Structure formats: C-alpha cells, structure tokens
Amino acid sequence: MQTQSSNPEAERRIQKLTQHLNPLPRHLLSATNHHFAIKPCAAKSKLNVDTSSLSSYMRGKNNDIQEKVIKFFNANPHLQTPIEISKDDHRELCMKQLLGLVKDAGIMPLHYVLHDPSTYFAILEAVGSYDMSLSVKMGVQYSLWGGSVMNLGTQKHKDKYYDAINNLDYTGCFAMTELHHGSNVQGLQTIATFDPITDEFIIDTPNDGAIKWWIGNAAVHGKFATVFARLKLPNYDTKGVSDMGVHAFIVPIRDMKTHQPLPGIEIQDCGHKVGLNGVDNGALRFRSVRIPRDNLLNRFGDVSRDGKYTSSLPSENKRFAATLGELVGGRVGLAYSSVSVLKVASTIAIRYSLLRQQFGPLNQPEVRILDYQSQQHKLMPMLASTYAFHFATTNLVEKYSEIKKTHNEELVADVHALSAGLKAYVTSYTAKSLSICREACGGHGYAAVNRFGSLRNDHDIFQTFEGDNTVLLQQVAGDLLKQYQGMFKGGTLAVTWNYLRESMNTYLSQPNPVTARWEGEDHLRNPKFQLDAFRYRTSRLLHSVALRFRKHSKSLGTFGAWNRCLNHLLTLAESHIESVILAKFIEAVQSCPDRSSQSALKLVCDLYALDRIWNDIGTYRNVDYVAPNKAKAIHKLSEYLSFQVRNIAGELVDAFDLPEHVTQAPIAMQSEAYSKYTQYVGFQ
C-alpha cells in the first residue's frame, strides 16, 4: 500500500486546496509562510495614502467646472434621470437637461470645444455621471454638429452659426453614417450635385443603402444637419459630371417655426436601442433638396459661382484625410469618457467587496469578499488599469488641446494615431470590465439601481461609433508598418513611435541569458525592465508581421495579405497601445509631487505592468526573454502586489473623487439589515 509521504506533490496540492476551502484560524495565519494563504488585512503593512493629495494630482485644473455641473443637478432634482423612464420621456428629459445646463447654469460647451478641449471633456465627464445619454447628446450638438461647422467651415460659417449653435437655437445632427456604409466613409453614396444655373447644391439619396442612419438628434430635436455627401460637378467638356469625393454640407432639415420636416426631407425614428435611449437617433432621406452654394463647408475645398473647384490640398485622399483629421476630437472624448465609466463601475464593485462578507473560518466572523484571492484577481488589476488609462487619456487630451492651439503637423499625426488606438483599447477593456464588475457583486449587481445594467448598455456602443474598434486597431497597425518601413530607409519616427528604433535593435539581437533569469523584486519592479518588456514584445510582433505581410503580398496581393495577417496585426496594435499606456503611467508616477501618493501610484503601476506581462507570458517564454524561474517570480509578485493594492483599494477609489450620487449607487445592494453599509455611504 502506498503511503502519503510517497507523493509529496499530491500532498502539497491537497494542503493548498484545503487552505482555500477551510482557512486557518486567524491567530495561526501569521505562523505560516505560505505566500498564497488567505491573510487578514492587518497581516501586512499598509501604505498610508493621502487621498486628498492623490485626488488633487489626478483631478487637475477642471474641478471647478465639474462642481458647477454637480451643483446644478443637485439643485434641480427634477432634472435627474430616474431608473424607470420611457424612451420618449427620456428624450424630452435629456433635452431639458441640456437646455438647463446652457441657459440656466450658463455653461457654453462650444467655446470649450474650440478653445479649451480639456475643460469640455471634463464637462462631459460630469454630465455623464448623471446620464450618459446627456453626455452623448451634448457631444452630438457641440462636438459633432458644432465642431464640424466650425472646423470644416470658414469664417462666414462661424459668423452665421456660432452663437445659435452655442445657445441651442440651432440644434443639429452629424449625418455621416449610412445604412450600407459606416466605417468606410469614402464609400458614402449620398450625392451633392452643383447646379450652376441656380447656384445651389442638390442633395439626393440615390438608393435605400444611402439613407443616413443612426443620426443623433435627427428623430426629434435636430433642425440642421452636417451632411457628408459625394460632391458632383458638371464637366463641360464631356457633358458629364466629375466626382470630387466626400465633402460636408449644412442642410436645414426642419422648419424653424413649425419644427416640421422641410420639403424633400424624410425623417424616421430608429426606435428603442440597447442603451442611450435619451438620444433621439433617426434616419434621413433626401429627395432633391436644394441648398445655397455657401452651405458647402469649404475649408479644404470650394466651388466657385461658375462651378470651378479649388483646394489647397493636391488630391482627394489628402482632402479626405484632412477632413477626418478635424473630427478626431470625438475619439479623444470617447477614450476619456470610457475611463470615467470604468471609474464608476470599479468604485461600486470595490466598495461593495470591501463591505460584503461571506464564509470564513469555523466559529469566527465571515470575511470580506475582497479578502478572497479570486475577487482580488478580478478587481485589483482592473483598478490598476483604471489608473493607467486615466493618465494615458489625460495625456491624450493635453496633446489634443495643444494641437488646437499650435496646429503642429507632427503632433496632429501623433494624436490621430494615438486617439484611434486608445479609443479602441480602452473602450473594449471597459466593456468587458463592466460585466466583470456586475458578476463580482453577485445578485445585488443585477439590480438596476446599482447602475451596472445602464452603464453596460449605454457604454456598449462606445466600441462602435467614432470608428469601429477593429477598424481603428488596423489603422494603428498600418501606421506601425509605415514607421517600420521608414525606419529602415533612414526616416525619422513620429513622437509616439520613437521607442521602436532602440527596441527593434534589442529584438534583432538575442535575449540576454543573464537578465532573462533575474528574478529579484527590485529588478521586476524596475520601470525600465517593465517598459523594455512591453516594447520588446511590440517590436517582435512588428518584425514578424512585416515579414509575413511581405511574403503573402507576393501571392495574395496587398488586400489578401492584410486579411491573412489580420489577427496578428490586431495583436500588434494592442501591444503598442499597452506600451504607450505604461510609459505614460510611469511618467505620472515619477512626476507626482506627494511622496505618499507616489508610493501608492508606484504600487499600482507595478501591478499593471507585471499583470500584463504575466497574461502574455507565453510570448516571452517562446523567445527565452523570460526564463522559467523568472516567469514564476513574476506571477508570485503580481499576486502579492494585487494583495497590497487590495489593502489600499478603498483609498484608491476615494481618490477618483466621484460625485456623491455615484458613490451612493451600491446602497441598494443591501437590505435594511445591513445598517453599517448604509452608514458607510452616508445614510443615517
């Protein structure tokens, strides 16, 4: 008969499982050195976090405008969105909320859209904490409709439309998407034909696939639309027409007095949606709608009275790129707003987990569910990611604000690529995290009052509008390949891609067999090791996909080769964005002036980096960048850091400084019997 001692590995595994199911009494926990045993919070030293200093460092300069929004809603409870509300009532309430902010609170978003984008995004964050439908409706009015007129038009358009857009007299839409074309904007089919006799453009929807679809503000409130259409000019030599590509036009869609659709304009309601039902999305069809020639938004291309076309840009592709480049603010705003949603969800889930108690040692009080390693594994890397995304998107907003002032061409290209990648990566991560947060709160998370349902439904479309995430990641990958090719031709690299030169040289040489085995905590928590690892992975992916793409292009052509390598390209883009996020997080840690805040941020940053490395450890092991013993050390350290972050999780979510109505959301998770929970959130 075989004895237990003959199989020590099985005995060790049984002991480990037993400790998870029946933890040791608390007085014995300190006697064991097993790293993964469940430990009470007091078993480890805890960082002292100055929450107010950390919050001040994160919040920046825009607290005053956000407080103004919050005070307005607190003073007008009838304008706060109830949990249960019909589609039609929600739309009307959303419009009343927007009118109240502008006309009563005196907040004029269009000024900030044009001159101070960081303040504008702060306003969106504040209003979105009350109702994401309101933030999206505001974005449609000011960033899309107002922004397109101001940024694609010229001085005559600014003089005519600025004040009326700003004070909501001219409510408007952004009519780009069509039933058959969303991401492929160059494939739009709506036509704008110039009539030289009447000096007008004739807007037509040539077929059902060209109906403008999902147009915010169109179903109920919009009076104007920026319509993207193919400009057709008469060709006097051949008696035909020339297609000049996609341009933007101001098209009135409703009568200013009666609010009825104008002649030739057909408007339909897109109906009830998965989320954002306070936004009135509609469909627009144009039947020979005539507009003055001055309604062409002519910053990048103009038509004279005799039908001659002029442009400062040499080609249709250049004009198209310039047009879309002016609309990049929408992606910047979505990335920033998505982080705000992640802050709300993680705060609710973590505060609940700090208070909810389930199971525990025999004859002793139940333990908080955040003391369970499985709950920490769900929520602590997420909390670390929230901080990482905060600093990355804040940096993106700062860069975007700078280009609005300086028009630096190199920075414009950098922001265009960075906004595409961050919007895609952050919104995808947040969408997944919302479901994890709901699950982490058990059945209580399913109650509508706790917001996970509305947050998840409202945020879900962030992955699609302003650019489908998969398409945007391909754009990032394409830019990486261009930079890669240019690097070997001796060209200079754009700002965000500078690291590739050194990192690629490291990749093309063999991994250092000595550093591949270093496993000390100081080494693993060194930001240079972490950033080098992220960038090495990106360089490896870039080099390998470039070789694959070149190989397949010979037999499949460019399009076929791209499709054959598509998953590889998407992984490359995500890896690059993760490298950028980590770099900005490390910069934020090093720049933090308060020592206690800096220590907390360093801990969170280390968890973010090592958790990411562990999640893709196979990549590093395949090329011996990390030896087996080092991989094991990374895993152990990341779990230890997760436990340490758990110890200050309450302070970390407090530092988000979310409005009171957000932090009170979890109260409905508990019945009246859980009195200490209601006291925690401020109820008597």
CA distances from 115 to 62, 189, 441 (A): 14, 34, 42
**Rounded mean pLDDT, 448-466:** 92
pTM for the model stands at 0.86
Q: What is the pLDDT of residue 507?
A: 58
Pick 590 or 34 by higher pLDDT: 590
Q: What is the pLDDT of residue 28?
A: 30
Which residues does the annotation mark as catalytic?
466
DSSP string, 332-375: HHHHHHHHHHHHHHHHHHHHHHHH-B---STTSPPPBGGGSHHH
Instruction: Tell me, rounded to whole angstroms, the distance of Cα 472 from its chain centroid.
Output: 12
**Which helix or strand (DSSP H or E) is residue 285 part of?**
strand 282-286
CB 55 within 8 A of CB 654: yes
Encode pLDDT of 192-205 as tens digits.
999 999 999 999 99
Check whether 657 has a pLDDT greater than 90: no
Check whether 492 has a pLDDT greater than 70: no
Q: What is the pLDDT of residue 6?
A: 47
Q: What is the pLDDT of residue 682?
A: 40
- For CA atoms 454, 460, 461, 462, the dihedral sign is positive
Q: What is the pLDDT of residue 450?
A: 84
Check whether 574 has a pLDDT greater than 90: yes
**Rounded mean pLDDT, 218-239:** 91
Encode pLDDT of 129-155 as tens digits.
899 999 999 999 999 999 999 999 999
* DSSP three-state, residue 303: strand
**Domains located in the chain, CATH noted:** 56-167 (1.10.540), 172-305 (2.40.110.10), 331-489+524-667 (1.20.140.10)
Amino acid at 462: F
CA distances from 122 to 403, 407, 514 (A): 18, 22, 47
CB 295 within 8 A of CB 260: no
| Lowest model confidence (mean pLDDT) among 163-172, 461-470, 589-598, 652-661 | 652-661
Check whether 25 has a pLDDT greater than 70: no
Check whether 283 has a pLDDT greater than 50: yes
| Lowest model confidence (mean pLDDT) among 55-59, 162-166, 218-222, 502-506 | 502-506
Check whether 305 has a pLDDT greater than 70: yes
Integer Cα distance of 480 and 497 in angstroms: 8
| Lowest model confidence (mean pLDDT) among 148-162, 231-245, 331-345, 394-408 | 231-245
CB 580 within 8 A of CB 479: no
Check whether 64 has a pLDDT greater than 50: yes
Tokens of 540: 């490896």
Integer Cα distance of 427 and 437 in angstroms: 15
Tokens of 351: 């505060």
Angle (deg, nearest 10), helices 329-355 and 117-128: 40
* DSSP three-state, residue 499: helix
Strand partners, 114: none
Encode pLDDT of 26-63 as tens digits.
333 333 333 333 333 334 567 888 999 999 898 878 88
Check whether 100 has a pLDDT greater than 50: yes
Q: Helices then strands (H, E): number in the chain?
A: 26, 11
Encode pLDDT of 515-551 as tens digits.
778 888 999 999 999 999 999 999 999 999 999 999 9
List, as own/partner pairs, every contact residues 623-631 make where C-beta atoms lie below 8 angstroms and the sequence separation is at least 24, other chains included: 623/511, 623/540, 624/511, 624/513, 624/516, 625/511, 625/516, 625/533, 625/536, 626/516, 626/533, 627/516, 627/517, 629/517, 629/519, 630/516, 630/517, 630/518, 630/519
CB 178 within 8 A of CB 210: yes
